[in-house]
Amino acid sequence: MNNSVGSFELREEDLIAIPVESLKANTPINFDLYASVGGGQPKRAKDIVLFASAPSSWNNAEPAMLKKCGISSFFIRPDEHSRYKSYLAFNSSQRSVDPNGTPEFRISQIQDIGAHLMEVCFHTGMDNLVLGRLQTVADDIVTCLTDDPRAVLHIQNLVDHDMYTYFHSTGVGILSVAMAKAMGETNAEVLRGFALGGLLHDIGKRETPLHVLNKNGPLLDSEWDMMKKHPEDGFNAVKSLEVPQMVRDIILSHHEKRDGTGYPHRLSANEIPLPAQLVSIADIFNALTTTRSYHRKRSRFEALMLMKQDMLGKIWSEGFKALIAALTEGENSSDGAELKSITV
């Protein structure tokens, strides 16, 4: 066993304690685990030993064995804390959406599971295991909105600042499917592609520096240059995975504008794949109706009017109409009538 990393001895006070119970049976563990042995007081550096090096996994018998040995906690290095958080988030996202729940409850579950799964993507990157779970979430979105199109109205947009990116991606996936359905799309694979494209549209932001991603004010030109790299970074993140072409198009082109002022390739009009144009509209609307550190949450009507006044000519008009249709499906309230009054 080893009690050092490189030339540095490990000390308990320099490590982070985690409960044994937080590690689930038969799950891949991608961080090193250290244990305290010997029982000397005060503990010396040699009491900290490497118990299991990554990658490792548990079987069902190990927790009882560890308890019998008096080990109730492990230690991890601070530089692997984000991996541990992602491990917890991934395993919390393993639960399934209740198919018998109300539309409001199902959408809430989808957002929660999807957001925590996107957190895993941002911390550890994309692989086939995570992609498989995201495809399940995409299927849940399609099924929920097929059962009740009005479920889209239950998206919750008040989220914690640090979780914004993850919840935003899930909300965009839900909106994109609702809009595609409003345009008459019924093919389950295509709808699933919209859901997955919405979930993954901002995956490239995992490469964007946090001080840029979370800045409270306007970005400097140099910071904008960093931000504008995320569509290509996202495209590269999934290029080795079995991701449909429409999803790749969405990731790469969701910031292109019909007047040619977008990025990364300044495409215009019909040069921009239609799936990317639709997801772009869902992206803008979800961002406008969410509270951020640098702007207040707009109402649905305010957001739509802002999009109409400032962005038409830059966004796809038929997609904008589909957004209004999705938000007013079966809606006979005064709020619904107000939204329907917006014409293009």
Which segment of 37-46, 95-104, 236-245, 320-329 scores lowest on mean pLDDT? 37-46
Instruction: Identify whether residues 104 and 249 lie together within a single domain.
Output: yes
Q: Is the pLDDT of residue 248 over 60?
A: yes
Q: Is the pLDDT of residue 291 over 90?
A: no
pLDDT of residue 294: 61
Last residue of a domain, one of 80, 111, 135: 80
Nearest to 266 by CA among 228, 292, 214: 228
Instruction: Specify whether the CB–CB gap between 241 and 235 falls below 8 A.
Output: no
Q: Report the amino acid identity of residue 316.
A: W
Instruction: Identify whether residues 67 and 122 lie together within a single domain.
Output: no
pLDDT digits (tens, 9 = 90+) for 137-192: 999 999 999 999 999 988 876 566 667 888 899 999 999 999 999 999 999 999 99
- Spatial CB neighbours of 133, under 8 Å, sequence gap ≥ 6: 90, 93, 94, 117
pLDDT of residue 38: 64
- Residue 87 belongs to some domain of the structure: no
Domain encompassing residue 225: 93-340
Q: Is the pLDDT of residue 41 over 80?
A: no
Q: What is the DSSP string of 128-144?
A: HHHHHHHHHHHHHHHHH
Please name the residue ranges forming H helices in the chain: 62-68, 81-92, 103-124, 128-147, 164-182, 188-200, 210-213, 221-227, 230-238, 245-253, 274-288, 300-311, 317-327, 334-340
Instruction: Identify whether residues 72 and 110 lie together within a single domain.
Output: no
Last residue of a domain, one of 80, 102, 119: 80
Q: How far is residue 259's CA from residue 266's CA, in Å, rounded to a whole number? A: 9
Which tops the pLDDT comparison, 267 or 128? 267
In the chain, what is the greatest distance between 2 CA atoms, to the nearest angstrom?
Answer: 75
pLDDT digits (tens, 9 = 90+) for 66-121: 777 777 788 999 988 877 877 776 676 666 788 888 888 899 889 988 888 888 78
Q: How far is residue 202's CA from residue 170's CA, in Å, rounded to a whole number? A: 10
Number of domains making up the chain: 2
Average pLDDT over residues 7-20: 76
- Residue 86 belongs to some domain of the structure: no
Reported as half-sphere exposure (CB side, CA atoms, 13 A), residue 84 has a value of 18
The pLDDT confidence band at residue 7, using thresholds 50, 70 and 90, is very low
The pLDDT confidence band at residue 42, using thresholds 50, 70 and 90, is very low
